[in-house]
Amino acid sequence: MLKPRAKKYRSRNEAEREHSRLSPDNPVPLATFADLLGEYEFPKTEWVRCQLVDQKGMCHELHGWGWIAQLGDGSEGYIGHRCAKKHFKDDPRFADLFTRAAARVTQEINVGQLVAALRSLLEQPQLPEALNNLKRRWGELYQRATSLPGQLSDPLRRELAARRKGNPNVMIKVIYVEIEIDEKTKRERKIFSRQPVRWGVLGGLQALESKPLGKVGQRLNDAESALQQAIASEDQPQSSLAKWVAALEYVKSAEEDLGKYEAVLVAFCRPENLKLLWMLFRDQFDQRSAVRAALEMTSRMRATDAEVTAARDAWAGELRAAHGGRDFEIVG
User: Using CB under 5 A, which of 38, 66, 77, 80 touches Zn ion?
Assistant: 80
Least distance in angstroms from the C-beta of 69 to Zn ion: 11
Least distance in angstroms from the C-beta of 130 to Zn ion: 49
Q: Which is nearer to Zn ion, 59 or 311 (CB)?
A: 59
58 near Zn ion, judged by CB under 5 A? no
d(CA 290, CA 274): 8
Q: Which is nearer to Zn ion, 48 or 279 (CB)?
A: 48
Residues 98, 79 contacting (CB under 8 angstroms): no
Q: What angle do CA 308, 304, 161 make, to 5 degrees?
A: 55
Q: Which is nearer to Zn ion, 50 or 69 (CB)?
A: 50
Q: Judged by CB under 5 A, which stretch of 3-11, 61-69, 253-261, 274-282 contacts Zn ion?
A: 61-69
Q: How many CA atoms lie within 13 A of 282 on its CB side?
A: 8
d(CA 78, CA 219): 43
Q: Judged by CB under 5 A, which stretch of 52-60, 148-156, 202-210, 268-276 contacts Zn ion?
A: 52-60
Least distance in angstroms from the C-beta of 87 to Zn ion: 7
H/E stretch holding 182 reads none
Least distance in angstroms from the C-beta of 83 to Zn ion: 3
| Residues 159-178: x where in contact with Zn ion by CB under 5 A, - otherwise, as a string | --------------------
Least distance in angstroms from the C-beta of 96 to Zn ion: 20
Q: Which is nearer to Zn ion, 18 or 61 (CB)?
A: 61
Residues 76, 26 contacting (CB under 8 angstroms): yes
- Residue 150: which of 235, 77, 210 has the closest Cα? 210
Whole-angstrom CA distances from 256 to 73, 217, 250 are 55, 13, 10
User: Using CB under 5 A, which of 30, 34, 83, 227 touches Zn ion?
Assistant: 83
Q: Is 218 exposed, middle or buried (0-12, 13-18, 19+ CB in 10 A)?
A: exposed
Least distance in angstroms from the C-beta of 124 to Zn ion: 43
61 near Zn ion, judged by CB under 5 A? yes
48 near Zn ion, judged by CB under 5 A? no
Q: What angle do CA 276, 277, 280 make, to 5 degrees?
A: 100
- Contact footprint for Zn ion (CB under 5 A): 50, 52, 59, 61, 80, 83
